[in-house]
């Protein structure tokens, strides 16, 4: 894969929507930064930059909703209200940022997407899966990522990592991290079930490896997809 290559030219027409998922402390943010900068170097001659974004958030309105959801002082939402807020933010994000960027041929890399709702709200908090799937249809028209990396790590090890990070950042975004280890075990199990349910787009990566080894695994899969050997398709209703 190189800038100006046939693979990069193909990006112009289609775009590629990649999401990163995982429990707390799985190393998503570090990997997203590294992968984006590697792809940026690969695609620069073509004039296309990877677009990085996050959920909940990604647009001004969705970032306002993020504050309501992830800050301890953001409010005490009922489970249904919470889910509706996630999908309200996601609808704005998809319509205003993700789809236009894909239509322009970009690679969009998103930190969390609907699989987080499946893992946290359904496997974690017991929301009926059908409610989530109905909301995917209602608010997103069935829109799903082309490719999803699930960074898998032992829950205790992940929580220890994210505890250190939150202490250093003092961001106050710890509402979901504050839940107990049993909840995080449910999340991990949920993510592995999601991967089994959507095998054509989900790739489980061993996040206990060194960051460099994790990056290597991910880039190999993206490289295959860009070369036309992988799973990348259209994004619209790709995995239902
Ligand atoms: P972050 O820590 O990766 O920035 O994500 C913010 C928190 O929001 C994280 O604890 C997971 C949670 N979350 C959900 O519970 N459901 C969702 O759909 C999303 C996108 C995030």
Q: For the purposes of burial, counting CB atoms within 10 Å of the CB of 10, is it exposed (0-12), middle (13-18) or buried (19 or more)?
A: middle
The full 3-state SS of 9-26, as one line of letters, equals HHHHHHCEEEEEEECCCC
The pLDDT assigned to 94 comes to 98
Domains of the chain: 6-226 (3.40.50.300)
What spacing in Å lies between the alpha carbon of 37 and ligand 1's midpoint?
A: 23
pTM of structure:
0.87
124-133, 218-227, 230-239: segment of lowest average pLDDT: 230-239
13-17, 121-125, 140-144, 188-192: segment of lowest average pLDDT: 13-17
Contact by Cβ (8 Å): 71, 178:
no
Question: Does 112 contact ligand 1 (Cβ within 6 A)?
Answer: yes
Give phi and psi for 145, each to the nearest 5: -65, 160
Q: Nearest 5 degrees, angle CA 201-CA 211-CA 234?
A: 20
109-113, 128-132, 177-181, 230-234: segment of lowest average pLDDT: 230-234
Question: Does 20 contact ligand 1 (Cβ within 6 A)?
Answer: no
What spacing in Å lies between the alpha carbon of 213 and ligand 1's midpoint?
A: 25
Confidence of residue 28 (pLDDT cuts 50, 70, 90): very high
Contact by Cβ (8 Å): 48, 11:
yes
Q: Cite the beta strand spans of the chain per DSSP E.
A: 16-22, 51-54, 107-111, 147-152, 202-206
Sheet of strand 202-206: strand arrangement = 51-54, 107-111, 16-22, 147-152, 202-206
Ligand 1 pocket test: which of 33, 56, 67 has the largest number of ligand atoms within 8 Å of its C-beta?
Answer: 56
Kindly tell me if the per-residue pLDDT of 208 is higher than 70: yes
Contacting residues for 105 by C-beta, under 8 A, at least 6 apart: 11, 12, 13, 14, 15, 48
Kindly tell me if the per-residue pLDDT of 2 is higher than 70: no
Maximum Cα–Cα distance across the chain: 51
Ligand 1 pocket test: which of 19, 70, 177 has the largest number of ligand atoms within 8 Å of its C-beta?
Answer: 70
* Ligand 1 atom at minimum distance from 56 CA: 20
Question: Does 208 contact ligand 1 (Cβ within 6 A)?
Answer: no
Question: Does 117 contact ligand 1 (Cβ within 6 A)?
Answer: yes
């Amino acid at each position: 894969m190189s800038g100006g290559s046939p693979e990069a030219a193909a990006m112009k027409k289609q775009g590629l929507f990649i999401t990163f998922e995982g429990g707390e402390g799985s190393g998503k943010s570090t990997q997203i930064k590294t992968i984006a900068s590697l792809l940026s170097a690969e695609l620069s001659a073509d004039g296309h930059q990877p677009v990085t974004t996050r959920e909940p958030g990604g647009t001004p309105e969705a970032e306002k909703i993020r504050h309501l959801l992830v800050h301890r002082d953001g409010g005490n939402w009922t489970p249904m209200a919470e889910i509706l807020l996630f999908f309200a933010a996601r609808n704005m994000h998809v319509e205003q940022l993700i789809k236009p960027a894909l239509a322009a041929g970009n690679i969009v890399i998103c930190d969390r997407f609907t699989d987080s709702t499946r893992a946290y709200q359904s496997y974690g908090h017991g929301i009926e899966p059908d409610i989530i799937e109905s909301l995917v249809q209602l608010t997103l028209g069935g829109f799903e990522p082309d490719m999803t990396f699930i960074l898998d790590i032992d829950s205790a090890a992940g929580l220890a990592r994210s505890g250190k990070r939150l202490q250093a950042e003092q961001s106050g975004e710890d509402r979901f991290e504050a839940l107990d280890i049993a909840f995080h075990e449910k999340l991990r199990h949920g993510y592995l079930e999601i991967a089994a349910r959507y095998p054509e787009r989900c790739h489980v990566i061993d996040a206990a490896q060194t960051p460099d080894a994790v990056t290597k695994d991910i880039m190999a899969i993206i490289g295959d997809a860009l070369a036309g050997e992988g799973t990348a398709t259209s994004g619209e209703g790709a995995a239902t």
